[in-house]
Amino acid sequence: MPDTVVIKAHLKALTKTPKYRSHQNIDQLNQTADYIRSVFKKYADSVFIQEYTVDQKIYKNVICSFGTQNKKRIIAGAHYDSCGEQEGADDNASGVTGLLELARMLKGQKLNHRVDLVAYTLEEPPYFRTENMGSYIHAKWLKSNKIEVYGMLSLEMIGYFKTEKKSQSYPLGILSWFYGNKGDYITLVKKFSAGKFANSFTSGFKKANTILTKTFSGPTSLPGIDFSDHLNYWKFGYSALMITDTSFYRNKNYHKVTDTMETLDINRMAKVIDGVFKTLVKI
């Protein structure tokens, strides 16, 4: 089971830092990468730093693996950089905390697939939708090395929930008729023709039944459906999906200084992590 005390400790370590985790603060990004690596090393079969250079600066993806005896792998990823001068608690310290807690929970588990947990850098502007995104670098590396990948899950903002009416909005107003207007659920977001992994993960997560869950499938042209690292795995033909609290459609602290850990619902966040864990060990 996820440990809420540990979750809070990780969130504090990621957000209450001397500087913010923006691309300008390379020293802080490196310190964050070191923290992630130190946690991964406690639990994983192996840990790897994937370095690459942008504008003469070295940036790092941090990767750890479980079930390395299995050939085909599942990627679960989250970006650890923040947008500008802010803590970026929900976006996306929450997703990275999910990876760190999954690492603890996956230790010693018997898995049907190799599971790689990947903490990416440079997801945020000005690098979003460019080949400098850490997830693009990683997805391209997988493809170039002909590594067998079952699929990819992006943990993108998993900590913000509201039970009040009208706390949830949508890219199309009519969707509130189907999904309701309370932001009290987690969403699994897929594109049409999502592929075997995305569909299997969705089914497994819903069966785990750890938290109120809704699924959404749509065209990639719909605003928000590809607003995270999974978009780069789509580019290389992998089955991928995003698990999210719907970002700015619910959390009005998005990309603001008010996105702090004090605004997060730790208990529901733990239930999301538990659902991901239970699905990964069975899929």
Rounded Cα–Cα distance for residues 24 and 84 (Å): 8
Per-residue confidence (pLDDT) for residue 199, from 0 to 100: 97
Chain centroid, CA 108 distance in Å: 22
pLDDT beyond 90 at 171: no
% of the chain exceeding 70 in pLDDT: 100
% of the chain exceeding 90 in pLDDT: 94
Domains of the chain: 4-282 (3.40.630.10)
Indicate the pLDDT class of residue 175, thresholds 50, 70 and 90: confident
pLDDT beyond 80 at 174: no
Per-residue confidence (pLDDT) for residue 222, from 0 to 100: 84
Buried residues in 225-243 as b, exposed as e (16+ CB within 10 A): bbbbbbbbbbbbebbbbbb
Pairing of strands 57-66, 46-54: antiparallel
Contacts of 84 (CB under 8 A, 6+ apart): 20, 22, 124, 255
Q: Give the C-alpha distances (Å, rounded to integers) separating 32 from 65, 181, 194.
A: 19, 36, 32
Average pLDDT in the chain = 96
